[in-house]
Amino acid sequence: MTSSSPAQNGRQIGGGDIRRAVEVEDATIIYNLPFNDLLFRAQQIHRENFDPNAIQMSRLLSIKTGGCAEDCGYCSQSAHYPTGLKASKLMEVERVLAEARKAKDGGATRYCMGAAWRNPKDRDMDALVAMVERVKALGMETCMTLGMLTPAHSARLAEAGLDYYNHNVDTSERYYSEIITTRSFEDRLETLANVRDAGIKVCAGGILGMGETTQDRISMLVTLANLPSPPESVPINMLIPIPGSKLENAAPVDPIDFVRTIALARILMPKSHVRLSAGRTDMSDEMQALCFFAGANSIFVGETLLTADNPGEDHDAALFRRLGLKPMQLGPTT
């Protein structure tokens, strides 16, 4: 780090023509600023890059639920834990389309289809391609999250017109093996590179509340900010503790620490959509308001995420009214 202050440097990162690597030390100084200073800075950067009152709305659908071979300690869908979830096969394209139409009517602009797989198989690709093409034809952005992707599978989905691929790094490199043992942090980065190289926009973030330290959270955001191009979308999830999963008894995150993490994500990745993702049913309206002030500008809408609960349309409509927020329309910057 050179002579400019870390906070100033944070604003330049990703915002100017020349990107410099974000240093963990600088990110830590920013994270630990007095709360008002941190939020003011995050809100300033937010305003320089986005309409501060517009929130992007995505809707999730689980197109293949449960029975997953991976052992992610947070997940209801891993076959390694007795979570009581019923597994199902890949959904029919027509059913996916019917659900996507409902999501569009509910105001969602992006449709995110998730499968509980370690990776898709060749035999799944025709159906996945059809889902992308048909949901896109409704005028929605498409997103998929299917586990690891090879360059060939990435290229096939890109050709079908897939806009985004979600693949979270979830936590720091250091803490990764405490949460997942069936794959490595490096595997995650490899898929992210395959997706990026295929020309698909990247959605990558993580989860807070898995017993990680503050430093793990900062390190995770630094990893994301230092990718060759930062992810266009950065989902920050608050752990939904799943009974039977490895993390069922994890200690909850301090809401102020959660807001600080959102602010740091906004500062390190000024042009990315930062999504206030899973866990909103356990957040107060006031906590969500602080997250929006700190620079979160995207949410999942609807009553279900993939398998877990979400606040639902009525609650979110009331929250948007109280805060004077409006849905973000599709445009060149989304």
Catalytic positions: 68, 72, 75, 112, 143, 203, 275
Rounded to a whole number of angstroms, the minimum distance from the CB of residue 68 to ligand SF4 is 3
Report the 10 Å Cβ neighbour count for 7. Answer: 15
By CB under 6 A, residue 145 contacts ligand SAM = yes
Residues 143-172 that bind ligand SF4 (CB under 6 A): 147
The Cα-based distances of 216 to 5, 118, 208, 219 in angstroms read: 23, 24, 10, 5
- Sign, CA dihedral 166-170-172-176, equals negative
> How far is residue 280's CA from residue 156's CA, in Å, rounded to a whole number?
34
Q: Is 68 in the site for ligand SF4 (CB under 6 A)?
A: yes
Nearer to ligand SF4, 156 or 167 (CB): 167
Query: What binding mask, one character per residue, do residues 94-133 give for ligand DTB by CB under 6 A, x or -?
Result: ------------------x-x-------------------
Binds ligand SAM (CB under 6 A): choice among 160, 306, 319, 328: 306
For residue 3, the one-letter residue type is S
Give the C-alpha separation, 126 to 262, whole Å.
37
Residue 49 binds to ligand DTB (criterion: CB under 6 A): no
- Tell me which of 56, 78, 154, 168 binds ligand DTB, using CB under 6 A: 168
209: contact with ligand DTB by CB under 6 A: no
Q: Contact between 145 and ligand DTB (CB under 6 A)?
A: yes
Is 287 an interacting residue with respect to ligand DTB (CB under 6 A)? no
Whether 74 and 179 have beta carbons less than 8 Å apart is answered as: yes
Residue 78 touches which of ligand SF4, ligand DTB, ligand SAM, none (Cβ within 5-8 Å per kind): ligand SF4
Kindly state whether residue 278 participates in binding ligand DTB, applying the rule CB under 6 A.
Answer: yes
**Strand, helix or coil for residue 115:** strand
Burial 38-71 (b: 16+ CB within 10 A, else e): bbebbbebbeebbeeebbbbbbbbbbbbbebebb
Closest CA to 272 of 164, 182, 197: 164
Q: Which residues between 189 and 248 bind ligand SAM (CB under 6 A)?
A: 207, 237, 239-240, 242
Quick one: 74 or 258, whose CB is closer to ligand SF4? 74
Choosing among ligand SAM, ligand SF4, ligand DTB, none, which partner's interface includes residue 170 (Cβ < 5 to 8 Å by kind)? ligand SAM
Residue 243: phi, psi to the nearest 5? -55, 130
Q: How far is the CB of 145 from ligand SF4 (least distance, A)?
A: 8
Give the dihedral of Cα atoms 185, 191, 193, 194; nearest 10 deg.
160
Two tokens, residue 72: 């992610």
Sign of CA dihedral 8, 13, 16, 21: positive
Site string for ligand DTB, 6-45 (x = CB under 6 A): ----------------------------------------
Site string for ligand SAM, 238-267 (x = CB under 6 A): -xx-x-------------------------
Per the listing, tokens 């042009």 go with 271
Contact 263, 236 (CB under 8 A): no
Owner of token pair 């060749």: 122
* Binding-site ranges for ligand DTB (CB under 6 A): 60, 76, 112, 114, 145, 166, 168, 205, 235, 237, 240, 277-278, 305-308
* Binding-site ranges for ligand SAM (CB under 6 A): 74-75, 114, 116-117, 145, 147, 167-168, 170, 207, 237, 239-240, 242, 278, 306
* Binding-site ranges for ligand SF4 (CB under 6 A): 68, 70, 72, 75, 77-78, 116, 147
